[in-house]
Structure 1
Amino acid sequence: MDAGALAAALAAARRRTLSLFDALAAAGYDDPARLPRLSIVNPPLWELGHAAWFAEWFVLREATGSSPGEAGGASLLAQGDALFDSGRVAHAARWTLGLQPEVIKSYCGAVLKAILARLSHAPDDDAALYPYRLALAHEDMHGEALLYTLQTLGAAAPVEEDVADWPAAAGEIAFAGGAFQRGGDQSRGFVFDNEKTAALLTVAPLTIDAGLVSNAAYLRFVQDGGYDDPGHWSGAGRHWLAQQGRQAPRYWRRAGDDWTGIRFGRQVALDPAAPVRHVTLHEAEAWCRWAGRRLPREEEWEFAAHSGHPGFAWGQLWEWTASPFLPYPGFTPDRYREYSAPWFGSRQTLRGASFATAPRLRSPRYRNFFTPERDDIYAGFRSCAL
């Protein structure tokens, strides 16, 4: 993405962030006092200000890292660092900062204007454009997080974000295995630090689902008493199940002999052919044990996605894999040091993308990562033969 395309993308990302914030504000969630204090969400006004601050930190203030003292100058917003540095502002404190919507929106506008002005004179090379690409990726990720928040809080999403379900691809694909380049190519463009270092990897033969497990396939597990049989669940899964008392995925609701789903606060028909969504790693693993299947390892998923096989469908939902989130050999953190390194070993890797992911962020190499109990995210799964 060159400087011209970057400028358009940064402006588009900010429009999306503001649109999603306005949707939350319309439901009253611009006021932190009306927002439940959940560990999985941030106050929307804080998230909006943080996205602008991050871009200012790495682009306008030319930060070489994410620690205090590694950026030049001062924020365009008084006390900006004390308000929006996620490394220094504890999650619980973000509800009590006294933020004002018009002040934060004005700050967002000033930061974007200054960034676009600077970008118009930037050299068209990877080193010069890296901070802009990092800021864009960061804002795109926070845009998707705001859509998670809308779903979690039961608030209506903007019309363009409320994407209808589409059928999951059916059948299996048998791959003979082989070698492929895992990870990002550092020769040009933008690469997340956890995708480094690129290496040739060999994958054994495998048979993998062409698409995601559907609602209908998951419903058979529910109807067969899958949530009641501890033999299907890992130790961690049984612990989670005992705490939650679930009998179905988070947003499923029984309606007589049928099931419905909850989508941005409204009840919708559960499409049997659509992929099951909002499931935890524990639920994905339990279904696989019940079905005599397994989750793919992340290198198997990446191999299949890079294969060029026209039947391998991805991008509907993030996909849980069997792989814990760990560094590749030779890993070194980039400027945003808190992006990956603190989470190695405590998160699980997801692959692909979701309907809420900005198209420019989608890549077969992208490694998303969440804790196993997260079901607020747009996640499903596919399985492999044992």
Structure 2
Amino acid sequence: MENDSVDKATLLTELEHTRKRTRALITSLPEASLEVPYHPGVNPPLWEMGHAAFFYEVFVFNLLDGTPSYNPAMDDLWDSFHVDHRDRWRRDLFPGRDETLAYFDTIYERMAERIATTPLSDRDLYLYRYAIFHQNMHIESLIWCRQTVGYPAPPGVTGERSAPGEGVAGDAVVPAGRWLIGMPGESAAFATGDFAFDNEKPRFEVELPSFAISRVPVSNREFQAFVEDDGYRRTEFWSFGGRKWLQTETDVALVHGCREPVLTVPKHPLYWRWHDEQWQERVFDRWQPLNPDAPVTHVSYWEAEAWCAWAGRRLPTEHEWEVAALGNRPGEPFRRFPWGDEGPTPEHADMDGRAMAQQPVWDYPAGDSAFGCRQMIGGVWEWTSSQFFPYDGFRIDMYPFMSTLQFGDHKVTRGGSCATSSSLIRGTYRQAYLPLRNDVYTGFRSCALPAT
């Protein structure tokens, strides 16, 4: 590979940055805070750290070198397919913080040594990136774990408004045409040195009619109007799946002692409350006045769908979302980001756990797409109406369960969130969540209904 030294330097920088961020998310918590109460949507922080180190062992050292594990007796416990989710919370099964940190640091040091001293083949480069990106996914889940259980904000969160913009509203109109979706197949990705997960490949063309999509995500102010119009109780706005979700949320509340009638719980997004004559939002361990101009966050697919029905709008399909974000046409230079091919910076997007989706939806003007859509990268993962299915010609990647376990019953979200690592994202990236999920940093934007 011609740029072997450059690629190695980049990999080593990414590896060390990832190690430091993960370590900080663990060591900044007091010992007592590592005893996270069981929650089905998050993993214990120490298990997250051990699992990430184990992933490097399996997909680099075991696969490429055939070397044995650091501690073979622990392999099943760090493997998400061998240890039940509830069992990850059993501290008697797992080592403590010091021992887990020692394991984690040892594996990272071995990784750095291997990258520095071993010839860099295409396969090695792909697996290194895969393992580093996998770890960055767990950095995001460590951040939303803190939000879920109400722990202090992680290191790096600032209250600064880093990229102010002027207010924008309304829809961007995307013309009818033929567009490119996705990333090249495996051989092309190796040839260009680019990276994509299996669910982003192979690239294909799609014909779309013209559509109008909101220039900015739905704000807290806009969603508050739905809440105050009794939107959660008005069943005409909720699909069958949405009504089932409301019923489930009510059942959960009844278990915890609430005796209100069906369809009164919830009445608002997950981390909102009405207190002292104002709407407030919990951001990590602090309740603060709801920022009306920030994007609505922590809403399920069903809530996004119901808001659209109330507003006389609809959710975009994932193809519409990608076209509005990237606007890639056959025969033209390919853009990986709304603004071009340069990776995200703090001027482009709210990412890397800095602003935590607390800035107005019209900030980050440098991140605008060619159609004038703002904050399509960062801020909140945006729900689309699309089910998560493979593209035609899909091939399972190095890690066979990256996508296959989610196909069929998950919805596609796009764009990354405030907690997503900027090294991980691009406009073709597809994330999949069950439609009931509201504990992750999910929001949405909407499309105009077709003219009749």
Q: TM-score, normalised by structure 2?
A: 0.79
Deviation at 1:36, TM superposition (A): 1.9
Matched, 1:262 2:323: no
The residue correspondences of 1:334-373 to structure 2 (distance < 5 A) are: 334-373=397-436
- Whether 1:311 aligns to 2:378 is no
Counterparts in 2 of 1:277 and 1:258: CA distance versus 1, 3 Å: same
Aligned to 1:172: 171
Secondary structure (helix, strand or coil) at the match of 2:156 reads helix
Please say if 1:30 is aligned against 2:34: yes
- Superposition pairs for residues 133-282 of structure 1, below 5 Å? 133-161=129-157, 169-186=168-185, 187=188, 188=192, 189-244=194-249, 245-282=265-302
Residue in 1 that maps onto 2:49? 48
Give 1:30 deviation, angstroms: 2.0
Q: What's the CA shift string for 1:85-117, capped at 9, x where partnerless?
A: 111111122122132211111111110111111
What's the counterpart of residue 67 of structure 1? none
Describe the superposition over 1:274-308 as per-residue Cα deviations: whole angstroms up to 9, x where unpaired.
11101000000000000000000000000111124
Does structure 2 retain, via aligned residues, the 8 Å contact 1:163–1:355?
Answer: no
- Which residue matches 2:312? 292
**Alignment check: 8 A CA contact 2:174 2:371 kept:** no
Looking at structure 2, the residues matched to 12 and 290 of structure 1 have their Cα atoms a distance apart, in angstroms, of 44
**Same amino acid, percent of matched pairs:** 39
Question: How many Å separate the matches in 2 of 1:243 and 1:88?
Answer: 29
Question: Is 2:104 aligned against 1:103?
Answer: no
SS in 2 for 1:268: strand
Q: Secondary structure at the match of 1:369?
A: strand
TM-superposed CA distance for 1:160, in Å, is 1.1
CA contact (8 A) 1:29 1:44 kept: no
Q: Secondary structure at the match of 1:29?
A: helix
How far apart are the structure 2 equivalents of 1:306 and 1:319?
Answer: 15
Report the Cα distance in structure 1 between the residues aligned to 2:56 and 2:176, rounded to whole angstroms: 41
The residue type equivalent to 1:184 in the other structure is M
SS at match of 2:294: coil
- State the distance in 1 between where 2:18 and 2:444 align: 28
Aligned mates of 2:125, 2:12 — CA distance in 1: 11
Q: Identify which range, 290-299 or 9-18, moves more after superposition.
A: 9-18
Tell me, yes or no, if the aligned pair for 2:18 and 2:132 is still in contact at 8 Å: yes
Instruction: Name the structure 2 match of 1:57.
Output: 58
Q: Distance in 2 between matches of 1:204 and 1:240?
A: 32
Shift of 1:132: 0.4
User: In 2, Cα distance between the equivalents of 1:152 and 1:164?
Assistant: 23
Matches within 5 A, 1:312-327: 312-313=373-374, 314=376, 315-327=378-390
Decide whether the 8 Å contact of 1:27 with 1:155 is kept in 2: no
What SS is found at the alignment partner of 1:361? coil
- For 1:297, give the aligned amino acid: T
The 2-side partners of 1:257 and 1:172 are apart by 33
**Native 8 Å contact 2:173 2:371 kept in 1:** no
One-letter identity of the residue aligned with 2:107: V
**Equivalent position of 1:10 in the other structure:** 15
Listed as ranges, the gaps of 5+ residues in structure 2 are 1-5, 250-264, 328-368
- Per mean C-alpha deviation after superposition, the further-off stretch among 343-352 and 186-195 is 186-195
Quick one: distance in 2 between partners of 1:48 and 1:274?
Answer: 31
Contact 1:213 1:275 (C-alpha < 8 Å) held by counterparts: yes
What's 2:366 paired with? none
Q: Which residue of 1 aligns with 2:391?
A: 328
* d(CA) in 2 for partners of 1:19, 1:355: 18
Query: Which deviates more from structure 2 when the two are superposed, residues 126-135 or residues 211-220?
Result: 126-135
Per-residue deviation, 1:72? 2.4
Distance in 1, matches of 2:445 and 2:373, equals 11
* Residues 128-137 or 253-262, more deviating: 253-262
1: CA distance between counterparts of 2:31 and 2:103? 23
Equivalenced residues, count = 375
Q: Is residue 3–residue 122 contact of structure 1 (8 Å, CA) maintained in 2?
A: no
SS of 2:103 mapped into structure 1: helix
TM-score (norm 1): 0.93
Matched, 1:76 2:70: yes
Please tell me the root mean square deviation across aligned C-alpha atoms, in Å: 1.8
Tell me: CA distance 1:227–1:309, structure 2 relative to 1, closer, same or farther (3 Å).
Answer: same
In 2, Cα distance between equivalents of 1:191 and 1:163: 33
The answer to whether the 8 A contact 2:384-2:444 is kept is yes
DSSP 3-state at the match of 1:342: coil
Once the 2 structures are TM-superposed, how far is the Cα of residue 121 of structure 1 from its aligned partner?
Answer: 2.9
TM-aligned CA deviation for residue 239 of structure 1: 1.4
SS of the equivalent of 2:288 reads strand
Cα distance in 2 for residues equivalent to 1:76 and 1:242: 47
CA distance in 2, matches of 1:127, 1:98: 33
